[in-house]
Structures are given as C-alpha cells and as structure tokens.
Structure 1
Amino acid sequence: MTRTFFEPDETEEYEAAADLLTRRCLAWAGERDLPADSVVLAAALESRHRSRDGRLAHWDREQVRRFLLVWTPHYVVAPRDVLDAAPESLRTLLRYLDASGLWDPRGAPVAELSDAVTAAEYAAALDDPLRQSVAKFWARIALDRGVDFDDRRALEKFQRDIDAGRVPYDAEVLDQLMMARLTEPELDEERAYAQPPIALPPAAELAEAAAQSVLVRQLAAVAEWAGAEGRPLTAEGLPRRPDARELAALLETGEDDLRVAEMRQVNRMLTWAKKARLIRTSKGQVFRGAKAAPILRDPEALWSRAFEVFFELGGTIGAPPTSWYSASVLVSAFDEILPDVLNSMYGLPSPVPVVRLQESVWLACKEHFQFDDWGLREQGWRLQVDQDLLAALEALAVLGAVELSHGAADELYSSDLDDEEQPLGPAAAERLRARLRDPDLLLARLTPLGLRATRERMLAEGRDAPLIGELATAPPAELLGLLAQHYPPEAAAVELAGWLAVPGQDVERLLRAVRDCPFRTRATAMLGTMTEALPDGLSIIRGLRDDPVLGPIALSALLDGEDIQPESLSDRERLLLLAEELLVLLELGGPEAVLDEVTEAAGKDTREVIEAALSSGHPDVAGLEELGALLPRLTRAHHPLRLVAGNAPGSRGRRGGHGKKRRH
C-alpha cells in the first residue's frame, strides 16, 4: 500500500513510496501554484523516516524544528535559493499530506505548524557553518565550483584538486566538523519498537486509583510532617532521631527502632518527596515546599510527578554499597534501564514473570558496562541486580504503577527461548526454561495508571503508542489509514466500532473516504480494514463490484477470496483489473518496476498491454497519467524498431535494454 510508515530495513519499499509521494506532491503543488522543490520534499520525508517513530505523515512543532533547524543545515545540499525556500516547500508537503488523507491526526494540526520556526531562526541555522556535516561541507564547495555530481570524472578531478591544494576551504571549520563527527551523536534516531494499541479505563477511575495510592498518601504525609515551620537536620542532612521515628510511625515503615541512617524506607521517602519538590532543605532544616500546596490537593497530579521522578531514585532503591561490593550496576544505569523495563511490560496480554525481566536486565547491565572480565564477583553482582530490580518493582507497586502477583507463567514468555537469534544466549535460555516451570512465580504487570504514565513517557520521546478511542472523531480517511497500518485486526475493530458510535459518523462516510483516496494501494488497504472489521463486510464488498471508483478493488478482493471466478468476469472488468494491477505496481515499485515487469511478461506486446490499461476507464486519473508517461520511454528504451516507420536507414538503432535501473 502507499504506506506512511516503513521499518528501517524496508529500504526499497520506503524509496518507492517516497518517490511516489514526491511526484504526486509536486504535481498537486503545480496545479495550485504552490512552492515545492523535490530535494526538500524528499529530505523532509527522509528526516521522518530516520526518526524514532518513522511516521512520515506525523508532524508536530518539534519535528518541524528538527527538520528546518537541524536536518536541513546538516544534510541537505542544494542551491541557496532552494534552501531559503525550504520552509515553504515543507508547508506545501504538510498541506498535501492533509489534503490527500494521509495526515496522522495524532500530530499537530497543519495550521498550527506554520510558525514553528521563525525566519530569523532558520536563516541563522543555515548560516552556521558548524551545523553542517563533513559530507555537506565538501558538497557545498563542489556545488559552488560547478561540479556535476552525476559526472564521475568531474568528481574525480575535484578530488585531485583537493589533494593538490587547488581548492580553497576553511580548514578550521573542517577540523571542528571532524571533531564533532567523532564526539557528537548522529542525527539519525534509533527506531523504537512499535507499541500495540492499549485501552485505558475512564478518567474518573484513573483519578480514583491515584487517590488510593499508598505512596501518594505517604508523600503527602512527608510534606505535612516537614510543615511550614520546618524540621531540623543533622550535619549529615538527616532528620534528628525523634523526628525520624515520628516520620517512620506516620509512614508505617516499621523502622522506629533503627538508627536514622538505617531507616532506608524513611530516607527513600524523604528523597522522593524532595525530588518531587514537595519538600526543600535550607539552612539545616527541611520544610514543606512553598509551591507544594496545589499539587498536594490533587492526588492525580501528585501521582504523576512521583512517577516522573522515580527514575532518579536508583541510589535510594538499590542496596547500599558494602566493603565487598560497590553500588549495583543497575543503580548506576537506573534511569536508562528501568524505563526500558516498563516499556517491555507495556501492552503485554498477561503478567510478566519477574525472572524473565531479571534475565533481560542483567544482559542490559552487562552490555551497558561491557567489562572484559567480570571475574569471581559476577555471581554476586548478578544477585545484587536481581534484588535491586525486585526492590524497584516493589516501590512501583506501592506507587500503584505495577501490580505484583504469584502464579504460573504464560507460555508466551518461554515460546521464544528456542529461537537461535534470541538475545539471552543458550545458558540463560536453559536457565529460564527451568525457572519458568515453577507454578508459583512472582509476576508483574503495569496497572492502568502505570500504562498511562508509561505511554506518556513514550509520547514525550516521540514514540508511537496508540490508544483505543483516541481516533473516535478522526477524519474517516485518516482513521482507516492508521488502522490499516498500525492496528491489529481486533484493535481495529474496537476502534472502528467506537468511531461509528459517534453521531453523524457512518459506513457511507468511510466509503466516501476510500473513494476519495488518491492511491490505489492505500484505498485497497483502507477498504480491506473496514470490511474486515464490520460484520457485514463481505456484503459491502459484493455491493461495490459495479462501483465506478471502488469496483476494481472490490473485484480484486472478490477474486482473492474466491467469491467470484475469473471466467465470470466481463471484458470491461478484465481491463479494469489489468489497469488496477499496473497502477498498484506503479505505486509500489515505481515506473522502472512497471517497465521491467510488463516487458518481461508481455514482451513485444508491452505497449499494447499498457495502452489497454489506459483505455480501461479506470477511475485513477493521476495514476493513468503516470502510466501513460511511460509510453515514450518504452518506445525509446524497449522497442527501438518503432522509432521510425519501415526500415529506413538508421531505423533499427541500437539494441535497448530495460531502461535505467533504480538506485537503492
């Protein structure tokens, strides 16, 4: 389909889609006299493809700023007038995505993005020589000297001129760029795993759950204990023993008889409250935060802030260092590894065995530190990491973000252990198999509050984390496009049912959106997703056989499902299916794929096949225009005998091939 999301290794599929979107956007812009440059359009799509979420049609202010202020100065090589007009070209692309039904409604509205970057900001970014890459540094010099990038000899001469010192350049800037390349991260963002759609309870239930959180009540108690008058602290920054015992009793930690330094739960809560800005220290005393009152009156906001700062608490959650062991390696990477733990639990259909999490966390710790020789201490360090992970999960359970239980593990968590490519390794896999047979394992799962909070963190990182119900009022074209690409069938059916439950939203609106879709492959996917999710989907497909726009798609679906037989097709339907097949191939593979495939299949009749498709009456006017544009190329490259009628001198020409191959 004309997708707007591709995995990083789907290079050919992405390039074909990006080429198609660029061609269609340029044509659309030309019809409306809007500014658009192919280099800028392709670069904008590339910036989204090489991002954390990879959604080409999902744009917000941050993504616009990333493209114009970071990506373009760093990568895009073009004449200055083209670069100066890049914001206008980007605006045209965004308008085209919106007008063609490709826009992701979970991004910002197009109208809100026009002022994401000011003209002054953009000009300053372009003029900053240190924002460019080393490759762009040399490409700009070559461009200024008139070097043709498609001329190999010209490029080789340019390189010789550089080596001979005949090309002037700013050596200081080049040195700084070389250093930046070694020390600064690449602009390509590591692609995050796609997350499954989740469902959450109503907002009122989540607010009530936050109010019932044990830790929320404890944090409020800490703030109340500190008070506006404050409590004195020792030289070590700890409460005095009577105050600490009073707080231990309030929190019911059972630490009343311990020394203050040994009251780990009390000290953890003090640290947690301080990180959450509920208390503050000043001049040897601890006070309730001056601005803490509003959040203390809002349990849900307090819960969210407590979750946000949890990842800064590794030192108070992990076991303290001893004379034999230093602080746990998990504590040292707590703020990096614990979010990954919650991400791995997100959206799973059943509770996760904690032993499975411990194996993965230990592997992450070893990769994080990469010790050449762990030596005799490895077993002790491993035990410490296991215990610290358990302590972290228990703290999250007190907060109400994680639910801990006991029981047998779902087969899901052992099903991949026989896979040769699983990352744990043979020894860990064998150890896990044995441990997962225990019928009374400790299990963990995210609560609804934990799911919502983890999702919010993912969204803040630019990740895609669908939520059932968030598309309830989305435009029908955008709804079906997202369901087709990002939702499994069961979740798509639930989301679609919710959309149809909104007054004024019905099946006819969905069908109208499919008819209006300018891409055959996308329209096919949209219609397939819709009819698969509806109980009467097959009857809808049957009723579309003679539809002037959707007929070819319906015919293809009915043939694939063996609901009709090929011999029952009329000549007109056969031509429509031929055109549909070629247009789909054009969208998926580009013009070269059509020329190669049709020539291989039809040989000398290639021209007649394409002309038959063009005369079919197929409704995709834009696609037929692109298909018709292949005929002159076909004549020149594939059938040189037809260049000149008869056998006049020179009419045979040179033997042609299948045309220039696509570069991937």
Structure 2
Amino acid sequence: MRTWFEPEEAEEFEAAKDLLIRRCVAWAEDHGHPVDGLLLSAAVDARHESRDGRLAYWDGACIRFFLLRYVPYKVTAPREKLDLAPEVLLTYLRYLDVTGLRDPRGVTVGEAEEIIAGTRAEYAAALDDPTLRGMATFWAYTAIDQGFDLTVPGAFERFKRELDAGRVPYDEQVLDKIMQNRLVYGGIEEERAFPQPPVTLPPAAELTEAARRSRTVQRFITLADWLGKDGRALTDAGNLRVADALEVSALLGTGEEQLRVRSAADLPQLNLLLAWAKKLRLTRTSKGRLLRVAKAAPLLRDPETLWRRAFEVLPELGRVVTVPVATWRPEPILAEVFDEILPDVLNSMYGMDEMPVIRLEETVWLACQEYFVLDQEKRLLDFWRREVARDLGRMFEILSDLGAVELSRGPADPLYASDLDHDDQPLPPDAVERLRTALAEPDLPLVRLTPLGMRGVRDRLLADGRDAPLVGELATAPPAELLGVLAQHYPPEDAVAELHGWLAQPGQDIETLVQAVRECPFRTRVGAMLRVLADALPRRRLLQDLRHDPVLGPAVWTQLIDAGEMQPGALSDRENLLLGAENFLSVLELAGPEELVEQLRRMGGGDAYEFMEAILASGHPDVVGMRELREQVAEPLRRIGRHPLRLVPTRPPGARGRRKKRKR
C-alpha cells in the first residue's frame, strides 16, 4: 500500500485511492465514525495534487487548505454533506493512524482534532461564500439550482445547451469575482515538486555557534552599535555622508574604506548591508537620519534567529545584490528574477557535495533566457551571459559571508560531465561545449552549502510544503510509520542510517519493528516494510528466522523466491495455497477487485471459483483482505459461473510553469 505516487502514475494512484476509501469506509462503519466516500476521495485527491503528493502527511496547513480552500473550490455536493467534511477528515486521519499509514512528520490525531475544531467557523463561512468556488463548481451549482440532476447521464450537456442559448440565469457578479480571483491569485492547483534527498545536519549547538560566527551577522550587530541611540545624518539623496560611510565600512570590514568615491551610493557592499538591515527592520530612516530600531534589540541578541531572518529575506534584495559597479552597465538581468533564481540555485545545491560554479552559471543563464526575450546577436548574448555569471559570482560571495555556502577550488566531480551527451540534455550545444571544456580543467571554482545553509534551505522547502527528509527526525516515530516512510521516501543507505538511529533509542528493538510488520493490514506494504528491514539487517538471518512465522511467512517466502534463495517446490500444498493467497491479495490491493476477477477469468485450465474457494480456505492471516477476496472476487466469479482455466500459477499475472517572457 503506497501513499505517494508520481503525477503520471494515474492508474496506480486510482487503484490505491479506491483501496484506501474502501477500507476506510468499512472501518468507519464498523467503529461508528462519520464517513462519506466523496469527501474521502476529495481528501486523498487534495494531498495527491499538492506540492509533495504525500497522501498520509497532514499538518495544520494541509488541514486548513483542504477545509477552507479545496472543498469550497472543488467539491459539489448538498450542503448537509459538505457540513460533514471536518468530521470525515478526522475519520480519515484516525484510519491512517490505526493502520500505521500516517506520516509521523505530520500532526498527531489529537493535534489534528484541535486544528479541525478551530476551523469550524471559518469552514462554514467558506461554504457560504460562492466566490470561493472554482469555475467548474460554480457552473455545477448553477445547474443544480436550475433543477438539473447531474447524476443523470447527459444532464450536464443539456444544461450547457440551455446555457449557450441564454435560457439559464446565473449570478454574473459572483462569476466575475471568481474569474478575478483566478486571474489575481490563480487556482488552487499546485505543481508537484521534485522529492529532495535526506540530509544530515550537525547538532543544534554547532549550528547556533556557526550563526554567531557569521561575518554578515557580526556586521549587522556592529552596524547597529555604530548607529547608537541618535543614529547618523543622511544627505538630501538619502545616503550616508561619505566620511561616515568610509568610517563604518572600516568597522564592518567590507574593504571599501580605501575607495575614493563621491557618494556613499558608490559602495556596493555597504549599500547591500544597509538595504539588508532595513529589510530586517534593524534600521529605519526618520527626519533625515538613519536610526537603529529599538524593538530590534532582542533580534540582535539572538544571532541564530537573526541569521535565519537574513537568509529568508535575501531573495528580496536582487536589486542591490546585482547593482552595477559602473554606471555604464545596464540594468542586470538577474536583478529582475533574483527572487526566483536564488531559491532555484540553492535547491539545486541541496544535498549535493561541491558543485562546479560553471555548471550553475549555465543553468542560470538558460533560465534567464526563459524569462526574457533577448537580442539573438551573438556578441550581445555573450555579453549578457558574462554579466549573469558575474552577478551569480557576487551572489555566492554574499552567501559565503553569510555562512550559507563554502567556496573552494579544485577539479569537478565527473558526475557533472557525465550527462553532457545524453539525448535529453536540456542545455543547448554551445553550453554543452563550454561545459565540456571547462569541466576538464583541474582548478575550478566550486561551491557547496554549509550545514547552516543546508538547514536554511530545508526550512524554506518545508515552508513551501515540500518533503525534505532529515536523517534522525524519525528516531522516536512509531515503528509502522517509521518503516512506511523509509520504504517510500528514503534511499537504501539513508534508510539504514535512520533505522539504526531508531534502534539506538531506549526500548526500541528489532522485535518491535517485526511486530509492526505483522500488524500491517496491507500485504503490499508488508512486503515493502520487510524489504527495508532485510536491507538494513543481515538479510539471510532475518528472512530465514521469519520463514515459519504464522503471519509473515507467505510474504517472506515471496521475497526469498524472488531473490532466488528459495525454490517454490520446497513449499507444501498448504503453503502453496498461502503463497497464492498472498499474491492474489497483493493484486487486489494494486489493481482492484474488478481487475483481479478479469485476470482469473482470462487464465486457463480449471475452475476459477473453486480455486478461489481453496485460496479462501487457506487460513491466510489477512482477515480484512480475505473478506474482500470473498465478497468482491469470489462472489462475482460464482455469479459468472464456471470458466475453464488452462493454468493456475503460484504467482498470477499483475503481481507486479514560469513567468511570461519579457523583452529586453
């Protein structure tokens, strides 16, 4: 049972969604919890369509988005049914919890209950506001209000004909507001983001000390001290006086105090620090003076928080990061898209070792050409490309002073040249040739994120709703949830590290993990969890020890047979039936009951219903799955009647956007 799918895995996702809804509805009815298939489907869709796509991950932002944005925008249903959405969502979260599907990095059921309770008034108001609907929902409700029963085939087409003929009244003001909202804010659709690799960070105390040592943080503190209580006078143009500018430059160590300038505006490093400090609300201007903000004193005494805030606002400072050093330089390209380029570059570096700067220069230059329509004359293109590379280099120097990146020199890892000849290479031929030549050099500028920078990028990724695993964050997670996350979101090496960290905690041992696998109600997830354990622990010992386990035996045999470590002939007749049940249950989860029925009907030799009766009598421990096999597979086969099968194998088939360009 997977709870994460690529957007293009439509069939696999739909099968998993049907399974989740089917099982959740049955569980809710058995336990007396409110449930509705349409609202469950909306909850699953909302997470699948999100930035990270994790069906079982829910935090406060996810809960509020679903209730206050997604349901009003996308779900068409009678009001009495929509009023149940908070309770149905809570039922779904409870089901994820009791089955071990919940992503432990989200909120607990208790926390979710409090969040949902806190949104009830807002949710009712959102349902009352028709301008929060999407276009499709608006027209669907209009059709219903005009007496069209959209559950009847062809009803919407008849409604559309009546609408086109001008015979359907509708609220034009509401429609105009919906269209205006979409133009200004866009819809609620989110583009799926690339999964990020797990990273390892040093202890919190080391990160705090690194923030304290940051050259930029120290400069902010020095600047505030230099301003004092009375501040410093500004010229009519709003700049520091030259003498003051040179004085503070010497104190800050920018290296600009020896420059002979006519205006403080000609000191780019000082101007950046002043603009940065103003953005952080460390300073302000009033009555011709640059003043220290008194309320910023706590921030200046907390270097770590100051560092985080400085890192957060840096993307907003493109105009001063890329400010021309000479007046003849035109407005830098990078200045206009800095707020998007900087996060993209940092994301590219996330989880990577030293990267050659030239590789980033080429990808940034390619991105800039997507944003702007540039003169294609080669001399001008080369000029713009060099200017972008120069500003990118300045950006890295600023990040280095902040302590977010580390700059060095040396040979590039062969990895960065290995894809230059691939057919799907996005870079143009001239860029590929430049890279091929440059990457062969033995002494290249290299860059990588520091641990402090890694944490800063991770914080931003999480705030953006993305999955950014951290090795060690699952150290106290419930065992079933731990194994589920490792199986889906961690490469084998990182899964091993995370698992051993979990086992190092008091009271957490292998038997606890094995028991969690035994209790898992999904056979495909049982197999995935066993693979995680087998990869992290001595494989032969673990699987061989579990070979005769009354609950896990069939899943273990499947893995041993697939690995060639066990022959099917070594199983008894009863064990073969158990193995057959294991495989059919897996197909039932992966493809659904209708597909399994069709597979059985297509098979040759024997009687499908009688074979299923033997499978159902095998004693397989999956009570819920075996009940579904009887009700949704065996019973349809019985009704269909006998169908000759030619062969009954032990393993049945199937077990297996950006801104518009602007002219320059």
- Interval containing the TM-score (normalised by the shorter chain): over 0.9
Partner of 2:599: 597
Partner of 1:657: none
Deviation of the 1:302 alpha carbon: 2.0
Deviation of the 1:243 alpha carbon: 1.1
Within 5 Å, give how 1:16-415 maps onto structure 2: 16-116=15-115, 117-144=118-145, 147-149=148-150, 151-256=152-257, 257-259=259-261, 260-320=264-324, 325-348=329-352, 350-371=353-374, 377-415=380-418
Find the residue that maps to 2:260 and give its secondary structure: coil
Partner of 1:659: none
Find the residue that maps to 2:294 and give its secondary structure: coil
Partner of 1:648: none
Moved more, 416-425 or 223-232: 416-425
Deviation of the 1:625 alpha carbon: 1.0
User: Which residue type is aligned with residue 278 of structure 1?
Assistant: L
CA distance in 1, matches of 2:643, 2:539: 49
1:527-572 deviation digits (Å, cap 9, x = unpaired): 11012111x2321111112211101111111111222211111111
Partner of 2:488: 485
Find the residue that maps to 2:423 and give its secondary structure: coil
Cα gap change, 1:578/1:200 in structure 2, threshold over 3 Å: closer, same or farther?
A: same
Provide the TM-score with structure 2 as the length reference: 0.93
Partner of 1:435: 438
Provide the TM-score with structure 1 as the length reference: 0.93
CA distance in 2, matches of 1:249, 1:342: 31
CA distance in 2, matches of 1:146, 1:515: 52
Deviation of the 1:638 alpha carbon: 6.5
Find the residue that maps to 2:295 and give its secondary structure: coil
* 1:69–1:122 Cα contact (<8 Å) kept: yes
User: Which residue type is aligned with residue 172 of structure 2?
Assistant: A
CA distance in 2, matches of 1:254, 1:54: 48
Find the residue that maps to 1:312 and give its secondary structure: helix
User: Which residue type is aligned with residue 523 of structure 2?
Assistant: R
Q: CA RMSD in A?
A: 1.9
Find the residue that maps to 1:405 and give its secondary structure: strand
User: Which residue type is aligned with residue 276 of structure 2?
Assistant: W
CA distance in 2, matches of 1:41, 1:60: 17
- Whether 2:8 is the aligned partner of 1:5: answer no
Deviation of the 1:602 alpha carbon: 3.9
1:166-211 deviation digits (Å, cap 9, x = unpaired): 4333233334434544554221111111000000111111112122
Cα gap change, 1:602/1:329 in structure 2, threshold over 3 Å: closer, same or farther?
A: same
CA distance in 2, matches of 1:16, 1:415: 38
User: Which residue type is aligned with residue 6 of structure 2?
Assistant: E
Find 1:515's aligned residue among 495, 501, 518: 518
1:335-376 deviation digits (Å, cap 9, x = unpaired): 11101100100001x211000000111111111224575775
User: Which residue type is aligned with residue 198 of structure 2?
Assistant: P
Find the residue that maps to 1:250 and give its secondary structure: helix
Moved more, 163-172 or 202-211: 163-172
CA distance in 1, matches of 2:246, 2:144: 74
* 1:264–1:316 Cα contact (<8 Å) kept: yes
Deviation of the 1:377 alpha carbon: 2.7
CA distance in 2, matches of 1:153, 1:454: 51
Find the residue that maps to 2:565 and give its secondary structure: coil
CA distance in 2, matches of 1:299, 1:124: 42
1:110-168 deviation digits (Å, cap 9, x = unpaired): 21122434322111111111111221122223344564545434343333333344433
CA distance in 1, matches of 2:298, 2:621: 60
Find the residue that maps to 1:444 and give its secondary structure: strand
Find the residue that maps to 1:445 and give its secondary structure: strand
User: Which residue type is aligned with residue 196 of structure 1?
Assistant: P
CA distance in 2, matches of 1:100, 1:274: 51
- Whether 2:465 is the aligned partner of 1:466: answer no
Partner of 2:612: 610
User: Which residue type is aligned with residue 499 of structure 1?
Assistant: W
* 2:308–2:456 Cα contact (<8 Å) kept: yes
Partner of 1:570: 572
Partner of 1:553: 555
Deviation of the 1:601 alpha carbon: 2.1
Deviation of the 1:640 alpha carbon: 9.1
CA distance in 2, matches of 1:103, 1:607: 36
Deviation of the 1:330 alpha carbon: 0.8
Number of aligned positions between the proteins: 638
1:379-413 deviation digits (Å, cap 9, x = unpaired): 22211111000000011011111001101111111
Moved more, 70-79 or 471-480: 70-79
Unaligned runs of 5+ in 1: 642-664
> Sequence identity of aligned pairs in percent?
55
* 2:134–2:187 Cα contact (<8 Å) kept: no
* 1:52–1:192 Cα contact (<8 Å) kept: yes
1:417-469 deviation digits (Å, cap 9, x = unpaired): 11221221232222211111111110000000000111001111111000010
Partner of 2:544: 542
Cα gap change, 1:147/1:573 in structure 2, threshold over 3 Å: closer, same or farther?
A: farther
Moved more, 161-170 or 520-529: 161-170
